[in-house]
Structure 1
Amino acid sequence: MSISISRLGLIKVVCIACLPLVAGMASAANNSSVKRINVGGSAFTDSSGQKWLADYGSKGGFKVKNRKLQIKKTNLDRVYQSQRRHKQKDKSFDYVIPVPNGNYSVKLHFAEIENKAFGKGKRIFDIYAEGRKELSGIDVFKQSGSARAAMSRSISYVKVNDGKLNLKFKAKKYAGLVSGIEIKSLQGKNLTGKSVSNSSNSNKTINANTSAAKTKSGTGLKITSQPSNALASPGSTVSLDVGASGSGIKYQWFRQGGTLVKGEKSSRLRFASVQKKDAGKYYCVVRNSNKRLRTKLVNVIVSGTNAAQTSKSATLSWAAPTKRTNGKTLKRSEISEFEIFHGRSASNMSMYDAVDGGKLNHLIKGLSPGNHFFAIQTVDNKGARSNKSKTIKVVVK
């Protein structure tokens, strides 16, 4: 599963390995340590509840906006329908965004919506963060695959010492552009006006006291988080997790039909090297001296098995490649993103979503009845891509 990449050697996608979605992960992406800017556009809240601020912080360039455009490869059309770019004679433009001193990651969004730049090599630019070139040779049309198609690139580490994050978009050919900016504090610092650490500590104290009060009063057992469906290739690691609160808790995992999974008496059911024989539906019985509860039934889906079934959602997870096929190390900081491909047949898949290179899983929702096929592709920070991973088939009934 690799392709030849000039100057960069080869990238190998190691595998698709499945882990359940961590409880609270979806909401974590919208906490106060993340700032999102809808470049060239107005403030809005997207379908995932993430708040995007109106355009601000620009130095130079001009806004371009067309709310009627349909953007491919995304459900965030509004981010890509507007952008900022500079006149060809100006060579560059900047963003200077106030943030607390500290360490950050930056995710930048792009789409080629200008007719003049439709075509490979017609617009090429570099991106600098805090005076250092971080991304080179961005060609939005080429790297996104077509006109009006979304793509993103990430800078995994930027250190800010002067209270301002400086970004420069510098043309090599024609003009630079950007459609959206996401800034994440790697230290959990507040970017929206509320104290992250104080709020977090306060919540922990309240939750701990509440939990203690319930235990003392004998309110009993409660399941706090359900296990998630898992999609896996043979030999990868799969875990199913259940969360529960109460005193004297005991766990036991079962396969559908009541077959006991021997030795699995913790909150986690783990397959160190999942095989086709492990595919099936599982649930956990959680109990104490006062109560007995059962989790929902979830699927472990292993590629190559027949008629794998799942509910309308599942967590797709994978392992980050660590080497190029020429033997050289591939650093996590060199991975820009993972592209997820989906289709109703293995021979006709298109890009479903792009996930930041710092993430290794993605929740797939709203699967309609029938066959679904998924694959992963790795993209490095210079735009080089691997071949797609082996395909996983999911049948929804």
Structure 2
Amino acid sequence: MKNPHPHRPLLFTLTAALALGCTAFALAAEAIRIRAGTTKDHTDENGVVWLADQGFNGGDTIDRTGIVVANTKTPSIYTAERYSLSGFTRKLPNGKYTVKLHFAETYEGIYGKGERVFSFNVEGREFKDFDVTARAGGVMRAHVETVEVEVKDGQLDITFTHNIENPEINALEIIPAS
């Protein structure tokens, strides 16, 4: 971000904006990363901080610490999940965002394609009959579904629908457009 007042440090400008109640300026500046199914913030293998589980509606959580998930440089974010959820909501400033949904089939009762299929909708973008195992190329493999959206009502909305087995998610990233 370019400092609009070069003679003042950017930190001063940000502090002044916050003091004046310009929270949209601050909120839109950084990505939000949430690791589903956890009670504590988590720092991944690359030093990136993921917030503890928040914003999800319904469902249960499980932590499978110790499992090995392939096809990712950050396997630790896939060891916990929220399953059987109905949705996710997060207040955000209106604008364009990249939303990354992180999935891996880690449930020991799922062995192949077609055994967990669900649908989800991100701000009106529909993903029908989503099969994590098929998308990832097998179980215990990570897959990231990336969608570009525009928030127009001050809130990011994601809904999940059961088809076969429960919907599940391991992590979520919300990245403001630059």
Root-mean-square deviation over aligned CA pairs? 1.7
For 1:315, the equivalent position in structure 2 comes to none
User: How many angstroms apart in 1 are the aligned matches of 2:90 and 2:111?
Assistant: 30
- Find 1:79's aligned residue among 77, 84, 98: 77
SS of match in other structure, 2:112: coil
Does 1:37 find its partner at 2:34? yes
- Find 1:138's aligned residue among 119, 124, 130: 130
User: How many angstroms apart in 1 are the aligned matches of 2:29 and 2:70?
Assistant: 29
After TM superposition, which residue ranges in structure 1, 4 or more long, deviate above 6 angstroms? none
Q: Deviations over 1:303-326 (max 9, x none)?
A: xxxxxxxxxxxxxxxxxxxxxxxx
SS of match in other structure, 2:76: helix
SS of match in other structure, 2:109: helix
User: How many angstroms apart in 2 are the aligned matches of 1:143 and 1:160?
Assistant: 26
- Find 1:70's aligned residue among 64, 68, 71: 68
Give percent identity, aligned residues only: 31
Answer yes or no: is the 8 Å Cα contact 1:37–1:180 preserved in 2.
yes
User: How many angstroms apart in 1 are the aligned matches of 2:168 and 2:45?
Assistant: 25
For 1:104, the equivalent position in structure 2 comes to 97
Answer yes or no: is the 8 Å Cα contact 2:29–2:176 preserved in 1.
no
For 1:166, the equivalent position in structure 2 comes to 157
Q: Deviations over 1:122-146 (max 9, x none)?
A: 111111012x243222111122122
Moved more, 56-65 or 72-81: 72-81
SS of match in other structure, 1:78: helix
Letter paired with 1:140? V
Letter paired with 2:164? K
- Please report how far the alpha carbon of residue 117 of structure 1 lies from its aligned counterpart in structure 2 after TM superposition: 2.2
Q: Deviations over 1:268-310 (max 9, x none)?
A: xxxxxxxxxxxxxxxxxxxxxxxxxxxxxxxxxxxxxxxxxxx
Which entry has the higher C-alpha Rg, 1 or 2? 1
User: How many angstroms apart in 2 are the aligned matches of 1:159 and 1:54?
Assistant: 25
- Please report how far the alpha carbon of residue 155 of structure 1 lies from its aligned counterpart in structure 2 after TM superposition: 0.7
Q: Deviations over 1:324-359 (max 9, x none)?
A: xxxxxxxxxxxxxxxxxxxxxxxxxxxxxxxxxxxx
Q: Deviations over 1:192-220 (max 9, x none)?
A: xxxxxxxxxxxxxxxxxxxxxxxxxxxxx
For 1:178, the equivalent position in structure 2 comes to 169
User: How many angstroms apart in 2 are the aligned matches of 1:167 and 1:77?
Assistant: 24
For 1:116, the equivalent position in structure 2 comes to 109
For 1:154, the equivalent position in structure 2 comes to 146
- Please report how far the alpha carbon of residue 32 of structure 1 lies from its aligned counterpart in structure 2 after TM superposition: 4.1
Q: Which runs of 5+ in 2 are unaligned?
A: 1-27
Answer yes or no: is the 8 Å Cα contact 1:126–1:133 preserved in 2.
no
User: How many angstroms apart in 2 are the aligned matches of 1:47 and 1:79?
Assistant: 9
Cα distance 1:32–1:52, how it changes in 2: closer, same or farther (>3 A)? farther
For 1:49, the equivalent position in structure 2 comes to 47
- Please report how far the alpha carbon of residue 178 of structure 1 lies from its aligned counterpart in structure 2 after TM superposition: 0.7
User: How many angstroms apart in 2 are the aligned matches of 1:107 and 1:54?
Assistant: 16
User: How many angstroms apart in 2 are the aligned matches of 1:100 and 1:50?
Assistant: 23
User: How many angstroms apart in 2 are the aligned matches of 1:47 and 1:64?
Assistant: 21
Question: Relative contact order, CA 8 A, sep 6+: which one is greater?
Answer: 2
User: How many angstroms apart in 1 are the aligned matches of 2:67 and 2:31?
Assistant: 27
For 2:56, the equivalent position in structure 1 comes to 58
Q: TM-score, normalised by structure 1?
A: 0.36
Q: Deviations over 1:157-202 (max 9, x none)?
A: x12122221111212212111111011111x4xxxxxxxxxxxxxx
User: How many angstroms apart in 1 are the aligned matches of 2:116 and 2:55?
Assistant: 24
Letter paired with 1:174? E
Answer yes or no: is the 8 Å Cα contact 1:126–1:172 preserved in 2.
yes
Answer yes or no: is the 8 Å Cα contact 1:134–1:155 preserved in 2.
no
User: How many angstroms apart in 1 are the aligned matches of 2:168 and 2:100?
Assistant: 14
User: How many angstroms apart in 1 are the aligned matches of 2:126 and 2:167?
Assistant: 14
SS of match in other structure, 2:144: strand
Q: Which runs of 5+ in 1 are unaligned?
A: 1-30, 87-91, 189-397
Q: Deviations over 1:73-122 (max 9, x none)?
A: 12312210011111xxxxx5111112112111101100101122221101
User: How many angstroms apart in 2 are the aligned matches of 1:133 and 1:184?
Assistant: 17
